[in-house]
């Protein structure tokens, strides 16, 4: 456990032409964007209290300390579109069973909190400054369909959902795949560490959007 705790403040920056992501390498989903490095890091820290809710739901203490930037990555077009797309060097590190379980617990907590917030939110959400943004049902459908696409990348293939049970079955299989220890090589194009970060980030990004846009 001490070896894991020593890694808790590692941050990488994904540098696009118009947008920069600051993402934690050890707390999946704790990832925020800004117009440049400093605003991205500031925004990441601003969201620490909101991320703590997720970590605590997963049964974890969240006290990562000051961020340490360990890598800067060249972003792609998706970076500027608002997606942290690039693998960091640390994404190719071995993943122990204990660490995989910890990160999967955070992913599960994100799912639970998103479902709870969606159930408590009105159908019509406040529009963004330019009148955009999905309402609740469309946002839920977007998150769940994107997740089905992410799962396919990892070899977890399910047909379109016909019920909540179908969605839950995919999530259980996805969690089982990502709970396994990994030392490489990895056949899918996403390593387990990157997959856990990307999947959890997408759920939390829309969870926090829903919270901010409740009318």
Q: pLDDT digit string (tens) for 124-170?
A: 999 876 557 899 999 999 999 999 999 999 999 999 999 999 999 99
- The span from the CA of 29 to the CA of 50, in Å, is 11
Residues 6+ apart with CB under 8 A from 60: 102, 105, 106
Q: pLDDT digit string (tens) for 172-201?
A: 999 999 999 998 776 778 999 999 999 999
Q: Answer with the residue of higher pLDDT: 6 or 48.
A: 48
Give the pLDDT confidence score for residue 186 in this predicted structure: 67
Q: pLDDT digit string (tens) for 47-88?
A: 999 999 999 999 999 988 888 999 999 999 999 999 999 999
Residue 6's CB is within 10 A of a number of other CB atoms, namely 10
Which pTM does this prediction carry?
A: 0.93
Region of residue 59 (phi > 0: left; psi between -120 and 50: alpha; otherwise: beta)? left
Give the pLDDT confidence score for residue 130 in this predicted structure: 56
The packing angle between helices 136-153 and 97-120, to 10°, is 160
Q: Nearest 5°: phi and psi at 76?
A: -125, -170
Q: Which of 91, 92, 90, 76 is closest to 14 using CA atoms?
A: 76
Residue 5 reports pLDDT greater than 50:
no
Burial (Cβ within 10 Å: 0-12, 13-18, ≥19) of residue 187 = exposed
- The span from the CA of 210 to the CA of 140, in Å, is 10
DSSP secondary structure string, the chain? -HHHHTTTTEEEEEE-SS-EEEEESSSTT-EEEESSHHHHHHHHHHTHHHHHHHHHHTT------S-EEEEEEE--HHHHHT---PPPGGGGS-B-HHHHHHHHHHHHHHHHHHHHHHHHS-SSPPP-TTS----HHHHHHHHHHHHHHHHHHTT---PPPSSHHHHHHHHHHHHHHHTS-B-S---SSS-HHHHHHHHHHHHHHHHHHHHHH--
């Amino acid at each position: 456990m001490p070896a894991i705790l020593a890694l808790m403040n590692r941050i990488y920056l994904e540098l696009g032409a118009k947008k920069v992501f600051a993402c934690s390498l050890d707390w999946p989903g704790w990832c925020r964007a800004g117009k440049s490095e400093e605003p991205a890091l500031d925004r990441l820290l601003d969201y620490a209290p909101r991320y703590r809710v997720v970590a605590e739901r997963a049964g974890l203490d969240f006290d990562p300390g000051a961020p340490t930037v360990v890598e800067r990555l060249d972003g792609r077009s998706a970076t500027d579109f608002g997606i942290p797309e690039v693998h960091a060097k640390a994404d190719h590190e071995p993943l122990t069973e204990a660490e995989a379980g910890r990160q999967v617990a955070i992913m599960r907590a994100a799912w639970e909190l998103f479902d709870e917030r969606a159930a408590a939110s009105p159908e019509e959400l406040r529009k963004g400054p330019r009148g955009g943004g999905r309402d609740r049902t469309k946002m839920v459908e977007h998150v769940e369909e994107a997740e089905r696409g992410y799962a396919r990348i990892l070899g977890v293939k399910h047909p379109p959902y016909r019920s909540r049970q179908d969605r839950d079955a995919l999530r259980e299989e996805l969690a089982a795949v990502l709970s396994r220890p990994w030392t490489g090589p990895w056949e899918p194009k996403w390593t387990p560490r990157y997959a856990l970060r990307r999947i959890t980030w997408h759920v939390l990004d829309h969870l926090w959007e829903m919270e901010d846009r409740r009318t």
